[in-house]
């Protein structure tokens, strides 16, 4: 069995998009009996919400879809995190630039939507997962749908890469 891949989801505040992505990713892994293949966390590039829960609209959006969340917001600590995590999955181009500027190597950073087959060749030009913080519950629902597509495609791609590297079957 290969070492679990360590995936860190990153957004700005760590209360809307990245904790939702983390919760959805863990939920999809559990449903596919793949939770032993990944270690998952999320963080924000900003410090404002550190130590607090996810936005209550994030929690409601997930609860309405029977997805568990218990994340406590934390800020990216690039010096420690760049060593500890294999992959940083960011939501938009501002997160992308902030994570690179903080010192995470470019080869460890991916836009979330760049995993979706339609956008796979676009790398950092892949569409953003839009920030719903100033938005409505409908915006949170749209983010949930985008992140669901991204998480399913991520699991497929990362497992395919792992089997290609190890020669193992996934
Ligand atoms: P997130 O959304 O980056 O998806 O967690 C935001 C949450 C809070 C703020 C900005 C974006 N804020 O400015 O406090």
The DSSP 8-state label assigned to residue 134 in this structure reads T
| pLDDT (tens digit per residue) in 121-163 | 898 999 999 999 999 999 999 999 999 999 999 999 999 998 8
Q: What CATH number does the domain containing 56 carry?
A: 3.40.50.2300
**170 assigned to some structural domain:** no
pLDDT, position 94: 98
Contact 107, 34 (CB under 8 A): no
pLDDT, position 170: 44
**168 assigned to some structural domain:** no
pLDDT, position 96: 98
Please tell me the total count of domains within the chain.
1
**89 CA distance to ligand 1 centroid (A)?**
16
| pLDDT (tens digit per residue) in 6-47 | 999 999 999 999 999 999 999 999 999 999 999 999 999 999
Site residues for ligand 1, CB cut-off 6 Å? 11-17, 44, 48, 131, 133
Q: Give residue 118's domain range.
A: 5-163
Concatenated DSSP letters for 27-38? Answer: HHHHHTT-GGGE
Maximum C-alpha span of the chain: 46
Distance CA 5, CA 31 (A): 18
Does the annotation count 131 as an active-site position? Answer: yes
Pocket probe for ligand 1: among 44, 54, 99, 128, the residue whose CB has the most ligand atoms within 8 Å is: 44
Contact 3, 83 (CB under 8 A): no
Does the annotation count 145 as an active-site position? Answer: no
Give the residue, by CA position, lying nearest to ligand 1 atom 14.
13
| pLDDT (tens digit per residue) in 37-96 | 999 999 999 999 999 999 999 999 999 999 999 999 999 999 999 999 999 999 999 999
pLDDT, position 166: 67
> Which of 78, 106, 100, 84 shows the shortest CA–CA distance to 5?
84
pLDDT, position 165: 74
* Helix ranges, 33-168 (H): 56-64, 78-84, 93-102, 137-166
Catalytic residue among 41, 81, 92, 131: 131
What is the value of pTM for the model shown? 0.96
pLDDT, position 158: 96
pLDDT, position 34: 98
Does the annotation count 57 as an active-site position? Answer: no
**169 assigned to some structural domain:** no
Give the sign of the dihedral formed by CA 69, CA 7, CA 13, CA 148: negative
**131 CA distance to ligand 1 centroid (A)?**
7
**133 assigned to some structural domain:** yes
């Amino acid at each position: 069995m290969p070492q679990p891949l360590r995936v860190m989801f990153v957004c700005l505040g760590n209360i809307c998009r990245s904790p939702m992505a983390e919760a959805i990713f863990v939920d999809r892994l559990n449903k596919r009996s793949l939770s032993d293949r990944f270690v998952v966390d999320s963080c924000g590039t900003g410090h404002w919400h550190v130590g607090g829960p996810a936005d209550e609209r994030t929690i409601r959006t997930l609860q309405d879809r029977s997805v568990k969340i218990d994340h406590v917001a934390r800020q990216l600590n690039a010096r420690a995190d760049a060593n500890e995590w294999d992959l940083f999955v960011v939501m938009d181009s501002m997160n992308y630039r902030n994570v690179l500027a903080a010192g995470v190597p470019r080869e460890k950073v991916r836009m979330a939507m760049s995993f979706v087959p339609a956008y796979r060749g676009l790398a950092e030009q892949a569409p953003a997962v839009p920030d719903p913080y100033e938005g409505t519950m409908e915006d949170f629902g749209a983010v949930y749908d985008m992140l669901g597509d991204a998480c399913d495609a991520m699991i497929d791609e990362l497992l395919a890469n792992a089997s290609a590297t190890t020669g193992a079957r996934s």
